[in-house]
Copies of this chain bind each other. A is one copy, B any other.
Amino acid sequence: MTTIREATYGLLRRHGMTTVFGNPGSNELQFLKDFPEDFQYILGLHEGAVMAMADGYAQATGKAPLVSLHSAAGTGTAMGVLSNTVYSKSPVVVLSGQQVRDMVGQQIMVASHDATQLPRPLTKLSLEPLSPSDVVRSVAEAIHTANLHPKGPTHISVPYDDWEEQADDNTALTIARAVQDAGALAPERLAEITAAIDAARSPVLVLGPEVDATHANADAVRLAERLGAPVWIAPSPPRCPFPTTHAQFAGVLPANVAGIAQLLGGHDLVVVVGAPVFRYHHIHRGRYLADGSRLIHISQDPSEIARAPFGDAYLAPVADTLARLSETVAAREVEPRQPAPRATAEDRPGLLDPNTVFRAISELAPRDAIHVVESTSTAAPFWSNVEMTEQGSF
């Protein structure tokens, strides 16, 4: 016979989720008992740090980590970082401990009252199974939901007395499941988008975080080179989808309506891939897009597609779409672009110009360095000076 705990570790192993990030309390001890030798537990002493490590792990490896948190206050403390995980589309499965089943309703100590509410509206799914017999399937549901596009965090709360219960026969079937996103851009749609691009006088590409999240950076380079088009990164970027050293790299779009409309205004076709249209920040009003411009929006996030205020949208897989478009669009003869000149540093005595700092960082950093930025006021010199060429650099 197998316990729910053993079956759950079997399920995690099946999905390659042998790295667990956590900060345990009393409710988690039953789950962590007999922690398997092939699993690794990364301890953090603050839930914000735990979530941030897990998010970074997901971005760096493309794999979904399990995050084991304490109930109420423990899970609560992670909500801040979790709200960023949503927009970086990192598949993170948060498992909150819970008091014993029959006492939660009394709101005893470290019970999470109404536990599925707390992580809403941030997680794609928030579950608390009604019975120990449904725990393994519920964890599986949280894993699959996190991994299906658009990827993102999910949450499940499990009373700690469930872990010692016996798993039934059907559990093996649940563990054995393989689940995959099986879609690709439809051939008729490929033809349609190809025709629009080929007919454009001056197309421009705008790339967003899903390009990096789906490891499609190289495909994006191929498409961009075939078109000879300038490439912008969508505003407020949580990831870097295109090499900043590439001659066609034009920079990061400003996070305001008027600024974007102006910069993209000269192009008759704007193709946005894997980004919201657009994640503005600063409020300078204006028309979203200049007359004579058309915008095509390709994303695998239905919410991004549905809520955008303008642009014709295709809900389609980002990596597959970039790969196939890079073969079907007509290659163009374009004058090689001059890379944008770097900003000049103006150091004053005792004060280093940010351009100087970032250039020094860039020169010293190894090629596969991962850059983390906390200073929004120096975003411009950062993107102008720091060379990032690999998937997962930012």
Interface hits, A315-329 → B, CB 8 Å: 315-317, 320
Known A-B contacts A101-B134, A179-B312; A307 and B117 likewise in contact (beta carbons under 8 Å):
no
Say yes or no: is A129 at the interface (Cβ < 8 Å to chain B): yes
Residues on B with C-beta less than 8 A from A138 are 105
Contact of A186 with B178 in the complex, beta carbons under 8 Å: no
Known A-B contacts A148-B306, A177-B308; A102 and B130 likewise in contact (beta carbons under 8 Å):
yes
Residues on B with C-beta less than 8 A from A189 are 180, 182, 184
Measured in the bound complex, the distance between the Cα atoms of B26 and A161 in whole Å is 31
Q: How many copies of the chain does the oligomer comprise?
A: 4
Measured in the bound complex, the distance between the Cα atoms of B171 and A377 in whole Å is 32
Measured in the bound complex, the distance between the Cα atoms of B309 and A134 in whole Å is 9
A184's closest neighbor in chain B, by CB? Answer: B186
Residues on B with C-beta less than 8 A from A109 are 235-236, 255, 279-281
Say yes or no: is A110 at the interface (Cβ < 8 Å to chain B): yes
Contact of A178 with B312 in the complex, beta carbons under 8 Å: yes
Known A-B contacts A105-B127, A138-B105, A307-B106; A183 and B180 likewise in contact (beta carbons under 8 Å):
no
**7 A-B pairs with least C-beta separation:** A77-B80, A76-B79, A109-B281, A183-B183, A184-B186, A173-B310, A76-B80
Q: Could you list 27 A-B pairs, sorted by A, with CB under 8 Å?
A: A47-B80, A76-B79, A76-B80, A76-B81, A79-B118, A101-B131, A104-B134, A105-B129, A107-B307, A109-B235, A117-B117, A130-B130, A140-B306, A144-B305, A145-B306, A170-B288, A170-B309, A170-B310, A173-B287, A173-B288, A173-B310, A174-B309, A174-B310, A177-B313, A179-B306, A180-B189, A182-B186
With A144-B305, A170-B288, A174-B310 given, name 7 new contacts (CB 8 A).
Answer: A106-B276, A107-B303, A109-B280, A117-B121, A177-B312, A179-B312, A186-B320
Question: Residues of A with Cβ closer than 8 Å to B?
Answer: 26, 47-48, 72-84, 99-110, 113-114, 116-118, 120-122, 125, 127-131, 133-134, 137-138, 140-141, 144-145, 148, 159, 161, 169-170, 173-174, 176-187, 189, 235-236, 255, 276, 278-281, 283, 287-289, 298, 302-303, 305-317, 320
